[in-house]
Amino acid sequence: MRKKPTLSFWQIWNMSFGFLGIQMGFALQNANASRILQIFGADVHELGWFWIVAPLTGLIVQPIIGHYSDRTWTRLGRRRPFFLTGALLASCGLILMPNADMFTAFMPALWVGAGMLMIMDASFNVAMEPFRALVADMLPSDQRTLGFSIQTVLISIGAVVGSWLPYALTNWFGLSNQAAAGEVPLNLLLSFVIGAGVLVTSILVTVIGTKEYSPEELQEFSGEKEVAEEESSSLLEIFSDFAKMPKTMRQLSGVQFFSWFGLFGMWVFTTPAVAHHVYGLAIDDTHSAAFQDAGDWVGILFGVYNAVAGIFAFFLPAIAHKVGRKRSHAIALIIGGLGFISMYFMPNENWLILSMMAIGIAWASILAMPYAILAGSIPPRKMGVYMGIFNFFIVLPQIVNAIIGGPIVKHFYGGNPIFAIVTSGVSFLIAAALVTRVTDVDDKTTN
C-alpha cells in the first residue's frame, strides 16, 4: 500500500473550483427563495412547508448518488459525471424559479416556484456530496483539513457574490428592484440567470482540469479491492451500510442535526424576521418598496456571513492543529449561536452585520470540520455512499424544521419570525455541547 501523493495548493483549488458556482446558486436560493415565494403569495408560516420538498428530495437522492458514484467509472471519472449533471439541472431551476409566473396558464406561480425550488435543491445535492467525496478520494489524510478548508473558501466567494448580486445590480448598476404585485423584480431575475451561467462554467473548470485516480490507483492507496469489482451494486446495500456506519459518524449525527436545524431556520425566516422586527413592516407586507429593500439587505447580510467564513477558513487548519478539530468546532458553534441570539437585540439593520460575522465563523467550521473528522473514520471504498448517508443528518433536521417551524412561529411566537432566529441560536449551542463527545480518529490532540 502506498501513500497518496501530496497535491499543491493550486491543484486542490482547481479540483474544488466548481464549488464556487454551486454555492453561488445555493446562496441565491437561500437568500431569495422565501422572498420569491412570498411575492407569489405564500404566508410566513407556510414558508417551511414549501421548503420541505428540497431536503426531502435530498434525503432520497443523496445516498443513491453516493452509492452509484462509488461504483461509476467512466471517461469522465468516478465523481465528475454526477456533479456535472447536478450543475446542469440546478442551472435550469435557477433560471425558471423567478420566472414561474410564465406558467400561470398551467398552474399557480407559487406551485411552479416551489417545484423549481425542489429541482434546484435536489440538483445541488447531486453535485455537492460527490464533490466532498472527490476531496477525500484525492487527498492524503494530512491534507484533508486543508482540502475542505479550500472548499470553504470557494464556497464563501461564490456565496458572497450570489448573496450580494441583487443588491449590487440595483444600487451599482441601476436595475429596478420594484415590480407589480405577484411579479419578481428585474434585479432578482437577472441575478438568477447570471448564477446559472457561473455555475455551469465553474463546474466545467473542475471537470476539465482535474483527473481522478483510476480504480487500480485507489486500490494501491487503500490496500482494498474496489467495490465495483467485488460487490453487487444493489441499492439494498445502502441500508446495510447505514446500519454499519462508523462510530464517529453516529456521534456526529447529533452535532449535524442541531447545526442544520439552526441553519434552515435562518434561511427560511431571516427575510420576514428582518422585515418585521428590524424594518417594522407588517408581517403580510410583501410588495412594498421597504420589503424589497429588506430583502436586498438580507442578501448583503448573507454575503457577510459567507465572506467571514471564507476568511476564517484560511485559519481553520492552524487552529485545528493547535487545539484540535473538536474543540475548534465547538468554539465556532458557540460563537455562531450567540450571533443568532444577538439579532433580537440589534437596534437597526446595520448592527446585524456583527451578528452575521459571528454566524460566519460557525458556518466556516460547519462546512469543513465535520467532514474532516468524518473522512478518517470511513473505509476508502465506501467514501461516496457514507458521504451520502451523512447527508441524512443534514436534511433530516431541515425536514423537521420545515414541518414544525411555521406552526411554532404562528402559534407559539405570535407570528413573529425573529424568535425562529433565536431558536436557531439555541440549536447551535446544543450542537456545540454534543461535539465534545465525538471521537476524531485522525486527531490525537483532543482524543
Among 38-52, 334-348, 369-383, 388-402, the least confident range: 369-383
Q: Is the pLDDT of residue 230 over 80?
A: no
Instruction: Please report the domains of the chain, with CATH numbers, ordered by start residue.
Output: 9-223+238-435 (1.20.1250.20)
- Chain segment 324-345, per-residue pLDDT in tens: 889 999 999 999 999 999 999 9
Mean pLDDT of the chain: 83
Q: Which of 112, 117, 132 is nearest to 54 (CA)?
A: 117
**Are 28 and 158 within 8 A, CB to CB?**
no
Query: What is the value of pTM for the model shown?
Result: 0.73
| C-alpha grid cell, residue 406 | 411555521
Average pLDDT over every residue of 77-94: 85
DSSP 8-state assignment for residue 282: -
Which amino acid, residue 79?
R
Average pLDDT over every residue of 75-79: 76
The model's confidence at residue 147, banded by pLDDT at 50, 70 and 90, is: confident
- Chain segment 265-277, per-residue pLDDT in tens: 999 999 999 999 9
Q: What is the pLDDT of residue 112?
A: 80
Give the whole-angstrom CA distance, residue 204 versus residue 135: 17
Q: Which of 409, 299, 429, 280 is nearest to 358 (CA)?
A: 429
